[in-house]
């Protein structure tokens, strides 16, 4: 024991160092697995030439109208039950159970987020949690990373995600954050826990 240490301080330091090694291992693994992929710039230019740069008028009109309570209710119903809440601690079940009471307030909140782009940093905060896969080894490959986002932010994403035709608001996507060539959650900050 070093001079000035409290009894039991060394095991606590060892535990802290071990936790840091685990964090470092997972961060390294996730960076390798989900990091940038080298792409030939000519391929990107070819893809960009093929993508429509304008949105048809029928789709554009739906992008400027306020979100309706019916769209919110549809988004609530498409979400899974008993899911972990985000950093705000409020899960989808809360919104569903108290829909009659919070309907107007939630509608106003989502319209502020959408129309006025009034989203505070805490609403965009995501916590990455690695869940163990069933019957897997305790290695990085034996875990599945999930991101816990605030439910109001997920609802907005679910409402704005295109169902089958790009540009039409709808809620048929199971994972709105991972749409083809759509960055739905710009400015989201992720922190591993």
Q: 46 and 65 share a domain?
A: no
What is residue 52's predicted lDDT score, i.e. its pLDDT?
A: 67
What is the span of the domain harbouring residue 36? 1-51
Kindly state whether residues 67 and 143 are assigned to the same domain: yes
92 and 76 within one domain: yes
Number of domains in the chain: 2
15 vs 178: which has the higher pLDDT: 15
* Claim to verify: residue 39 and residue 90 sit in the same structural domain: no
Please identify, among 9, 31, 51, the residue that sits at the C-terminal boundary of a domain: 51
CA-based torsion, 81, 82, 87, 90: positive or negative: positive
pLDDT tens per residue, range 137-181:
888 888 888 888 899 998 998 898 865 444 455 534 444 443 333
Does the reported pTM lie above 0.75? no
d(CA 193, CA 143): 14
- Give the domain-ending residue among 51, 67, 85: 51
Q: Produce one character per residue of 46-77: b if its CB has 16 or more CB atoms within 10 Å, e if not.
A: eeeeeeeeeeeeeeeeeeeeebeeebbbebbe
Per residue in 61-90, pLDDT tens? 777 789 999 999 999 998 888 888 877 888
């Amino acid at each position: 024991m070093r001079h000035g240490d409290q009894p039991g301080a060394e095991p606590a330091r060892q535990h802290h160092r071990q936790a840091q090694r685990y964090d470092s291992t997972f961060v390294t693994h996730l960076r390798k697995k989900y990091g940038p992929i080298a792409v030939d710039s000519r391929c990107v230019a070819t893809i960009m030439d093929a993508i429509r740069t304008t949105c048809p008028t029928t789709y554009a009109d739906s992008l400027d109208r306020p979100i309706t309570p019916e769209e919110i209710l549809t988004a609530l119903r498409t979400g899974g039950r008993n899911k972990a809440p985000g950093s705000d601690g409020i899960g989808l079940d809360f919104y569903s159970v108290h829909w009659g009471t919070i309907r107007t307030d939630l509608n106003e909140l989502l319209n502020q987020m959408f129309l006025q782009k009034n989203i505070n940093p805490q609403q965009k905060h995501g916590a990455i949690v690695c869940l163990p896969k069933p019957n897997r080894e305790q290695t990085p490959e034996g875990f599945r990373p999930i991101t816990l986002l605030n439910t109001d932010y997920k609802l907005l994403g679910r409402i704005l995600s295109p169902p089958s035709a790009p540009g039409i608001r709808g809620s048929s996507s199971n994972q709105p954050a991972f749409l083809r060539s759509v960055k739905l959650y710009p400015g989201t900050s992720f922190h591993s826990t």
